[in-house]
Amino acid sequence: MKPSILENPIQRITLIMILLNAFATPVMLSAVNVAIPFIASDLSVSAVLLCWIPMAYLMASAMFVLIFGRIADMVGRKKIFLIGTTSVIVTSLIAASTDSGITLIATRFLQGVSAAMLYATQVAIISSIFPPAKRGYAIGLTVSAIYFGLTVGPLMGGYVVDLYGWRASFMVHLPLAVLALVIGVFFVKDEWLSDERGSFDLFGAVLYMISILVLCIGVSYLPSTQSIILIIFSLFGFIFFFLFERKHKHPIFDTTLFFTNRVFTFSCLASLIIYTATFANVVQVNLYLQYLKGFSATAAGAIVMCQPITMAIFSPLAGKLADKFEPKYLSTIGMAITCCGLIMLSNLEIDSELNYLILSLVITGFGFSLFSPPNVNAIMGSVEKKFYGSATGAMATMRIIGQMSSMVLVTLIFALIIGNVDINQENYGALESAIRIIFAISAILCIPGLYLSMARGNFIRT
């Protein structure tokens, strides 16, 4: 009989630690998304500034995930994971006590820095303790935990917001985060780090962070001339960073993988595209339900959870399939199904039936669940063990930049269609148009994703 994935005690307790945090952080993230209309009302936040509540978190995560991935390789992945867990707990408590929109956005930035430590280490730890034959299933469980968190988050967030106000949305995940911290400190004795410690690339780290920061500031001023100038500067910064990292002996981002590994490169780019296309779904559907349909936060959260619960249910199955079949076929089919779901969402109107919305979310979620675990398995399985830190950092960076790009798209379309004003009944028509345009653009983005997913080449297991 084939040994169970949980029979090894070290693997079992470490996986539990990872799964707890993989579940808890998305609970907070999605619960806060449900609370956004309440935050806007209580703190008098405009439509454009409103987008910065999730975007500040994503920007910070994008700025720091590579840095913490490299530091984790040098000092220990579990150590950075536990520091990140502690930091998420502390910053969540601070966010719950803020009294202005600007202060909340600053706190969300600190939350993003904390979460970057988790994003940089979760899959790297999983890949360090599980052999290739079981890695896909373990990754599938981790992805499933993330989407169970995204499933429960809107419902829990809506419930606590209706009862206790928006501040409670920042605290719903704390018991699980504390439990993960206790397990990591007292029960997980092993540590995982790179065989070659090397040196820290400070210049590359600063250059990368500044490029991300300038990009996000530029986006916030769209469509002005200043924004175009800032975005161009950020693009030059990324090019310089990319060239500099190629020559550095111990880079924070091993860009040589992109030149020498087609499976790795195309899988990362496909991941970037699907996260860009889908991440803002929760925010948009919440705005649609609470503003245009007049639903309560609890009711909206119950409907929004249809997409992530579909992801959570099917991700372990997709992970198992990824251990047996070529990831490019599974991921390409998943990308195509996701595109179909987004096309359906692009046809939403104020008087659309709820059954139509729910079916659209389920189709989108099923497509994503079929795409993600095989794609992650292809990324981690296409590199040698010494590159796990770099591969995890690259994968997390693609995910976070994709999520951030998704919110950039929302911010841009909102600025062009609605303007920098509070959302009210006078501009509900503009809000409906903006939501439909964003979903249509997201569906179009999946087309190059289909090519990248299919053209990546055959997967060679390591």
Q: What is the pLDDT of residue 462?
A: 47
pLDDT, mean of residues 42-68: 81
Please tell me the pTM assigned to this model: 0.75
pLDDT at 222 over 70: no
Structural fold of domain 9-201+248-454: Growth Hormone; Chain: A; (1.20.1250)
Domain boundaries, the chain: 9-201+248-454, 202-247
pLDDT tens for each residue of 302-356: 888 788 788 878 887 887 787 777 778 888 999 999 999 999 999 988 888 899 9
* Dihedral (CA of 453, 442, 47, 227) sign: positive
Q: What is the pLDDT of residue 6?
A: 55
pLDDT tens for each residue of 262-272: 888 888 899 99
> Residue 159 has which token pair?
């419930």
Displacement of CA 116 from its chain's centroid (Å): 10
Q: What is the pLDDT of residue 358?
A: 93
pLDDT-wise least confident of 58-62, 298-302, 349-353: 298-302
CA distance 434 to 237: 31
Confidence of residue 142 (pLDDT cuts 50, 70, 90): confident
pLDDT tens for each residue of 370-396: 898 888 878 877 777 666 666 777 777
Displacement of CA 44 from its chain's centroid (Å): 27
Displacement of CA 73 from its chain's centroid (Å): 22
Displacement of CA 210 from its chain's centroid (Å): 21
Q: Which residues contact 15 (CB under 8 A, 6 or more apart)?
A: 5, 6, 126, 129, 138, 141
Q: Which residue has the higher pLDDT, 3 or 18?
A: 18
- Contact status, residue 367 vs residue 343, Cβ threshold 8 Å: no
CA distance 347 to 333: 22
Question: Which amino acid, 52?
Answer: W
Q: Which residues contact 36 (CB under 8 A, 6 or more apart)?
A: 50, 53, 54, 283, 286, 287
Instruction: Find the radius of gyration of the CA atoms of the chain.
Output: 21
200-204: long-range contacts, CB 8 A cutoff, minimum separation 24: 200/70, 200/71, 200/74, 200/250, 200/252, 201/70, 201/245, 201/248, 201/250, 201/251, 201/252, 203/244, 204/241, 204/244, 204/245, 204/248, 204/251, 204/252, 204/253
pLDDT, mean of residues 108-116: 93
